[in-house]
Amino acid sequence: MTDSYHAQLLLELRQLAGCGPEANPMPGNPYLGTTKPFYSAEATTGRSAVRAFRARHPDLTPSEYLALLDGLFLGQTCNDIFLGSLLLALWPDKRRQVEPERIDRWLDHVEGWAETDSLCQSVFPAAELLARWEAWQALLEKLVGDGNIHKRRASLVLLTRPVRESADERLFRQALANIERLKRERHILITKAVSWLLRELIKLHREAVEAYLSENAGSLPAIALRETRNKLLTGRK
């Protein structure tokens, strides 16, 4: 049945995107940083497909939901990853059943900034991380030291929403600890994520961010230093 649910979601997406039944996905997109093929569909199309699926299957069991997510994150196209992320974002009561360690396994199969960020950027709110902090902290500390660069990026991006929503010291300390461990990397996947997380921290920890920049100006990526200082000065991204 789970394979059927997976097929339904992809079919719904393709129909909403205007793809014919025989249409093949396009080759990987260098801009997205992935070699996976994809069907051209707006983000709103994916949300519509997931909402329609949720409306048809309100009684999806926890095991069916998790199995469907596992299948999507093992999928062959970028769209599988994006649909899995939307299933998490748009179905919060079921999302709360997901153990943080499962995200580590899903991240084994993402490629490029777009797939990584679709899973990590805005899906998990501060309240959910703090409710199971020991498990989330273990995941964040595992990811930041992983040999997979997408997992290291995830260790930063997973915190961008929570630190914007909550001034809890646990989130703040973990964010700075992960930045500190990655600040000397110079790959754009990491430097941009360091910049992003520092800028999000400004909302609730402005003085601490200013102090951190002063103390670490020589070791932070130039782009992170420049963009964070600009955000402090202008209030704009």
Q: Which domains does the chain have, with CATH numbers?
A: 1-98 (no CATH), 112-237 (1.25.10.90)
Q: How many CB atoms lie within 10 A of CB 134?
A: 8
Q: What pLDDT shows up at residue 57?
A: 93
| Contact (CB, 8 A) for 39 and 49 | no
Per-residue pLDDT of the chain (237 residues; tens, 9 = 90+): 568 999 888 888 888 877 765 566 778 778 888 898 887 777 788 899 999 999 999 999 999 999 999 999 999 889 999 999 999 999 999 999 999 999 999 999 999 999 999 999 999 999 999 999 999 999 999 999 999 999 999 999 999 999 999 999 999 999 999 999 999 999 999 999 999 999 999 999 999 999 999 999 999 999 999 999 999 999 887
Note the pLDDT of residue 19. 75
Comparing C-alpha atoms, which of 40, 29, 27, 120 is closest to residue 73?
120
pLDDT score, position 15: 83
- Quick one: pLDDT at residue 22? 57
Q: Find out whether 158 and 124 touch, Cβ atoms under 8 Å.
A: yes
Question: How high is the pLDDT of residue 2?
Answer: 61
So what's the pLDDT on residue 163? 98
Nearest to 156 by CA among 187, 106, 192, 112: 192
Asked whether 90 and 131 are in contact (CB, 8 A), the reply is no
Per-residue pLDDT, 44: 84
How far is CA 82 from each of CA 32, 42, 43, rounded to the nearest angstrom? 12, 11, 9
Q: What is the pLDDT of residue 13?
A: 83
